[in-house]
Amino acid sequence: MSDSMRATAATGAGLVGAAALALWPCGAPAQTQRPTGYPRSANEREGGPVTTSAVYTADVIADVAGGRARGVRYLDNLDLQVAVDAERLVGWRGARAFGYILHNNGARFSPALAGDFQIASNIETGVRATRLFEAWLEQDIGRSASVKAGLYNLNSEFDTTLSGTLFLLSSHGMGPDIAQSGRRGPSIFPVTSVAVRGEVALDDRWLVRAAVLDAVPGDPAHPAATAIRLRRRDGALVIAELARLGTRTKLAVGSWRYLARLPRLQDEPREGDGSRGAYALVEHQLHGAVRGGAGVSGWLRYGVADRRYNPAAQYLGGGVVRTGIGAARPDDQIGLSFAAVSFGSRYRRIERTGPGELIVEAAYRLVARSWLVIEPDVQWVASPGGRRDVRDALVVALRIKIGR
């Protein structure tokens, strides 16, 4: 680990440690992630074999100090989902299907205003578009395995935490070490590719899953289109994760690699083989109920990426979340997180950047109604994009979610 990463990690970990002491009396839901991820949990809700969901999310986000420029942007995201239990619907034993359409207005905040590398709002896309985001079929194999195939969001099952979903920063979804990779990023929001994913539960706690994905999601020449292009030169992205899902703790380690030639980071680009990386995470219920309800949870994640191909060579992030703000607000959440990126030496030399970027974020999620969530959010961005000529930024945001 570089000296810069040690410094930023120590700063972030210290802030999160202080927050953990302050939030200790109550906290966030226990680690209840199902081995098969979503939407199996949606199918287990009350209702018939077909469940639907419609959610509109809006962010009003502003750079109020520092960064590239001050200003305000309005970002939005519309999610339309349908999950089908084929066994209950038509008697197809052990089969499920899922469809997901999303729309974004394409407003740009981080590149234009804050200048941060890690993307302050996880619904920013930069392209106005309505897309088919996911469309897949999953089939159980016996009692402990399944196979899924179709248009697939890698971050729905790989490199996930429950606690991190409180925060707006993109790095608390999929780590930036993976999210930056490939010619157009991996198969994650907002553009996905076709994939085949298999998983096996080794026992009631250990789970292994692996996937092979088209390495270039969509059509780079038509970024707003829903497109599937399978070209030999694009190659594949392969990824595997081993996880232990306990009653209070989730541990996971993963590794990924591109099976195609990719451009290296240098002044005269040339291609090479083997862009790869790895990550490890731990999420733990620190205090409170094991199955939902009030409590404190926290997580820590570390990832690395091949510095020959990727700007960020290392990433360290984590946070603490408290669920239940007194008896009157059992569903509200409050949390503090940090995300530190260390840029590789080759990228720093070419782009003339500093050693890294650190973002500290505080968020409060107010559950006003079952269909209405209001979330104020503040982010402090130290060394945005690693640029020495850009001052530290202060970003404030208000997120509103309508629907369920």
- Report the pLDDT value the prediction gives residue 230, as an integer from 0 to 100: 85
The pTM assigned to this predicted structure is 0.88
Q: Is the peptide bond before 39 cis (omega within 30 degrees of 0)?
A: yes
**Average pLDDT over every residue of 2-21:** 46
The pair of structure tokens assigned to 180 is 């930056």
231-236: long-range contacts, CB 8 A cutoff, minimum separation 24: 233/260, 233/261, 234/183, 234/260, 235/259, 235/260, 235/261, 236/212, 236/260
- Report the pLDDT value the prediction gives residue 364, as an integer from 0 to 100: 98
**Average pLDDT over every residue of 189-207:** 95
The pair of structure tokens assigned to 194 is 């076709």
**Average pLDDT score over the chain:** 87
Could you tell me which residue, 16 or 290, shows the higher pLDDT?
290
pLDDT band at 47 (very low <50, low <70, confident <90, very high): low
pLDDT band at 70 (very low <50, low <70, confident <90, very high): very high
The percentage of the chain sitting over the pLDDT mark of 70, rounded to a whole number, equals 86
Contact between 98 and 39 (Cβ < 8 Å): yes
**Average pLDDT over every residue of 346-370:** 95
Residue 211: strand, helix, or coil: strand
Cα angle 343-398-226, degrees, rounded to a multiple of 5: 65
Q: Answer whether residue 39 shows pLDDT above 70.
A: no
- Report the pLDDT value the prediction gives residue 336, as an integer from 0 to 100: 98
Q: Answer whether residue 63 shows pLDDT above 90.
A: yes
- Report the pLDDT value the prediction gives residue 23, as an integer from 0 to 100: 42
- Report the pLDDT value the prediction gives residue 65, as an integer from 0 to 100: 98
- Number of CB atoms found within 10 A of residue 371's CB: 12
Contact between 38 and 156 (Cβ < 8 Å): yes
Contact between 86 and 98 (Cβ < 8 Å): no
**Average pLDDT over every residue of 146-150:** 97
Residue 41: strand, helix, or coil: helix
Contacts of 42 by beta carbon, 8 Å cutoff, 6+ apart:
51, 53, 81, 83
The pair of structure tokens assigned to 35 is 């081995």
The per-residue pLDDT for range 104-114, each reduced to its tens digit, is 999 999 999 99
Least trusted range by pLDDT, from 35-44, 53-62, 188-197: 35-44
Q: Answer whether residue 214 shows pLDDT above 80.
A: yes
Q: Answer whether residue 34 shows pLDDT above 80.
A: no
Measured between alpha carbons, how far is 397 from 231 in angstroms, rounded to an integer? 40
Measured between alpha carbons, how far is 148 from 40 in angstroms, rounded to an integer? 12
Contact between 245 and 35 (Cβ < 8 Å): yes
Could you tell me which residue, 222 or 175, shows the higher pLDDT?
175
- Report the pLDDT value the prediction gives residue 269, as an integer from 0 to 100: 60
pLDDT band at 293 (very low <50, low <70, confident <90, very high): low
- Report the pLDDT value the prediction gives residue 261, as an integer from 0 to 100: 79
The per-residue pLDDT for range 347-357, each reduced to its tens digit, is 999 989 999 99
In the chain, where the domains are located: 3-403
- Where does residue 287 fall: left (phi above 0), alpha (psi -120 to 50 degrees), or beta otherwise? beta
Least trusted range by pLDDT, from 2-16, 87-101, 256-270, 324-338: 2-16
Q: Answer whether residue 236 shows pLDDT above 60.
A: yes
- Report the pLDDT value the prediction gives residue 37, as an integer from 0 to 100: 39
If we measure between CA atoms, which residue out of 342, 403, 402, 396 comes closest to residue 168?
Answer: 396
Q: Answer whether residue 7 shows pLDDT above 60.
A: no
Specify the pairing of strand 129-141 against strand 145-152. Answer: antiparallel
Q: Answer whether residue 186 shows pLDDT above 90.
A: yes
Contacts of 91 by beta carbon, 8 Å cutoff, 6+ apart:
none
**CATH of the domain spanning 3-403:** 2.40.160.180
**Average pLDDT over every residue of 300-309:** 95
Distances (CA, A) of 220 to 217, 224, 371: 8, 9, 36
Q: Is the peptide bond before 190 cis (omega within 30 degrees of 0)?
A: yes
pLDDT band at 228 (very low <50, low <70, confident <90, very high): confident
